[in-house]
Amino acid sequence: MGLFDQILGAIENPNQQGSVGQIGNIINTVEQLSNSAGTDSSTMQSALGIVGNYVRSALQEKQASEGNEAVQDVVNQFGGTSSNPEAVNSILSPVIQQEIGQVLQERTGLDAGVVEQLLPMLVPVVLHLLQSGSHAQDPQGGENPVLNSFLQGEGGFNIANVVQMASQFLGR
């Protein structure tokens, strides 16, 4: 089952945090970021996809060294739709942050200054999307199938594709 299917499952499952409102907030945030960066939503979705790939690698490393609970802690602590430089610094080294900036600039054409401002917004959004699979009553307890699917790279794990499908799902 792909990542988007896991998110839809989380929305339908009252025991998980996922909701139409949460996905709508993520889409609204991506649209606001597009507007503030002076670009279109597909460019911002591409940027989100690139950042998502780096977040995935960082979380996989954390999972290998510290276990599933540590990864879920990061998702719970830093997932959101607000700027949070601490989220970036907690999972991405300065070297990786610089690499992401260069890749975003090359692949999206976004200005370096804009890219620097976007990273503290994009990382929490990726983590917030992963939060949708957390247990509703006990976010640290139980399985998070959305996070597991993302970490395992099951079909359709690209965050850009997921946001695009979610936009279509919500009729935006």
Q: Indicate the pLDDT class of residue 87, thresholds 50, 70 and 90.
A: very high
pTM: 0.88
Length in residues, the chain: 172
Q: Indicate the pLDDT class of residue 26, thresholds 50, 70 and 90.
A: confident
pLDDT at 1 over 90: no
Q: What number of other Cβ atoms are within 10 A of residue 166's Cβ? A: 21
Least confident of 15-29, 40-54, 112-126: 15-29
The per-residue pLDDT for 122 is 94
Closest CA to 160 of 9, 34, 41: 41
User: For the chain, which residues make up each domain, given as ranges?
Assistant: 3-169
